[in-house]
Amino acid sequence: MSLEIRVAGPQDIEALVSFNQAMALETENKVLQLEILRAGVSAIIQDENKGFYLVAEANEQVVGSLMVTTEWSDWRNAQFWWIQSVYIIPSMRRQGIYAKLYERVKTLAEARNNICGFRLYVENDNFIAQKTYESLGMQASHYLMYEE
Encode the chain in three state secondary structure.
CCEEEEECCHHHHHHHHHHHHHHHHHHHCCCCCHHHHHHHHHHHHHCHHHCEEEEEEECCEEEEEEEEEEEEECCCCEEEEEEEEEEECHHHCCCCHHHHHHHHHHHHHHCCCCEEEEEECCCCCCHHHHHHHHHCCCCCCCCCCCCC
Q: Residue 40, by phi and psi: left (phi above 0), alpha (psi -120 to 50) or beta?
A: alpha
> Is residue 19 assigned to a domain?
yes
> Is residue 142 assigned to a domain?
no
Q: Give the domain extent around 22.
A: 3-135
Q: What is the CATH number of the domain that holds 46?
A: 3.40.630.30
Q: What phi and psi, each to the nearest 5 degrees, are found at residue 119? A: -135, 155
> Is residue 127 assigned to a domain?
yes
The number of folded domains in the chain is 1
Which pLDDT tens digits describe the chain residue by residue (148 residues)? 789 999 999 999 999 999 999 999 998 899 999 999 999 999 999 999 999 999 999 999 999 999 999 999 999 999 999 999 999 999 999 999 999 999 999 999 999 989 999 999 888 888 878 888 888 888 888 888 888 9
Q: Please report the pLDDT score of residue 147 as a whole number.
A: 84
Q: Going by C-beta distance under 8 Å and a sequence separation of 6 or more, which residues neighbour residue 67?
A: 44, 51, 52, 53, 83, 84, 85
> Is residue 103 assigned to a domain?
yes
> Is residue 144 assigned to a domain?
no
The reported pTM is: 0.90
> Is residue 143 assigned to a domain?
no
